[in-house]
């Protein structure tokens, strides 16, 4: 039966609760993975989402920064959250749900953005990002060849030339530098992950999920990047039936600079 998973960097869930509600009412995903919730667990707006049927929520929160949360219409068989790089940053939460095809584990990630200078010797944030990607790669390698795996979230990297508005102009811009794209592509390879979005929207189609707040007219300039991803193991990818990028959400009231990405599976 159809089973949908949505991912969205919401850039403050409390500020943007109305548009999360709008998404849940309109799309009714089975699972919604949010990143950059920017609140502690006890500050998360549970009641409004529960009224819409999302009574199962796993949260890894943090005061004012980062944070991830996964909302579900289905009970959790298990939940997990872990740290990376020896830091207390709230950047991961995992849930397992039972489907007719078997257990499915969805890992929700918010990979560090990396700051503005793509040099780890000059920029601690970029060094942290590269270290995180190393641990993310090892984490995926430990799970390679397993079934029922999905990893989603804001990976803060646009890996392919067609994932950015200008490959040439962004080669020295954090999120599209060769050291980052090579690292993410290696993580995909050693983890035996399939890029579900690109399975359905293949290169050379331009696909963007983020547009800067700095743009005077984001839609007209269309200087976007594909920073938000849905990966799965090969067997689960074989059950994927479609992907949608909700570009119009960038124009919703008080929008995030990211838009939701939804993948549907026959599970």
DSSP sequence for 202-243: -TTS----EE-TT-SSHHHH--EE--EEEEE-HHHHTTEEEE
pLDDT for residue 146: 86
Which positions of the chain have pLDDT values less than 70?
Answer: none
156 φψ region: left (φ > 0), alpha (ψ -120 to 50), beta (else): left
Cβ atoms of 229 and 208 within 8 Å: the answer is: no
pLDDT for residue 89: 95
Burial class (CB in 10 A: 0-12, 13-18, 19+), 43: middle
pLDDT for residue 245: 98
Cβ atoms of 207 and 197 within 8 Å: the answer is: yes
Q: How many CA atoms lie within 13 A of 178 on its CB side?
A: 1
Query: Please, what is the Cα angle at 200 between 72 and 238, to 5 degrees?
Result: 70
pLDDT for residue 145: 84
pTM of the model: 0.98
| Pairing assessment for the beta strands 194-195 and 78-80 based on DSSP bridges | unpaired
Counted domains in the chain: 1
| Pairing assessment for the beta strands 56-60 and 68-72 based on DSSP bridges | antiparallel
Cβ atoms of 97 and 75 within 8 Å: the answer is: yes
Residue range(s) defining the domain that contains residue 55:
2-266
Cα distance between residue 211 and residue 196, in whole Å: 21
Cα distance between residue 194 and residue 199, in whole Å: 8
Cα distance between residue 210 and residue 191, in whole Å: 25
Which CATH number do you get for residue 247?
A: 3.60.10.10
C-alpha distances (whole Å) from 240 to each of 103, 200, 230 are: 16, 9, 11
Cα distance between residue 260 and residue 34, in whole Å: 9
Cα distance between residue 226 and residue 211, in whole Å: 9
Local structure of residue 163 (DSSP, 8 states): G
């Amino acid at each position: 039966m159809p089973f949908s998973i949505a991912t969205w960097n919401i850039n403050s869930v409390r500020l943007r609760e109305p548009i999360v509600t709008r998404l849940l009412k309109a799309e009714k995903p089975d699972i919604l993975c949010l990143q950059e919730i920017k609140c502690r667990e006890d500050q998360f707006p549970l009641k409004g989402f529960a009224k819409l049927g999302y009574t199962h929520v796993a949260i890894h929160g943090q005061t004012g920064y980062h944070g991830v949360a996964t909302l579900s219409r289905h009970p959790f068989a298990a939940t997990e959250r872990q740290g990376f790089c020896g830091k207390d940053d709230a950047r991961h939460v995992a849930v397992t749900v039972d489907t007719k095809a078997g257990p499915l584990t969805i890992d929700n990630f918010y990979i560090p953005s990396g700051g503005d200078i793509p040099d780890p010797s000059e920029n601690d944030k970029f060094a942290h990002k590269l270290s995180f990607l190393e641990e993310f790669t090892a984490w995926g390698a430990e799970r390679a060849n397993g079934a029922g795996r999905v990893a989603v979230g804001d990976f803060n990297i646009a890996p392919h030339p067609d994932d950015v508005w200008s490959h040439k102009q962004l080669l020295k811009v954090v999120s599209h530098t060769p050291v980052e794209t090579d690292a993410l592509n290696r993580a995909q390879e050693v983890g035996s992950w399939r890029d579900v979005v690109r399975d359905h929207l293949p290169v050379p189609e331009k696909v963007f999920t983020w547009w800067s707040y700095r743009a005077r007219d984001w839609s007209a300039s269309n200087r976007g990047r594909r920073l938000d991803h849905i990966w799965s193991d090969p067997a689960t990818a074989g059950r994927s039936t479609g992907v949608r990028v909700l570009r119009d959400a960038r124009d919703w009231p008080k929008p995030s600079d990211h838009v939701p990405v939804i993948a549907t599976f026959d599970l």
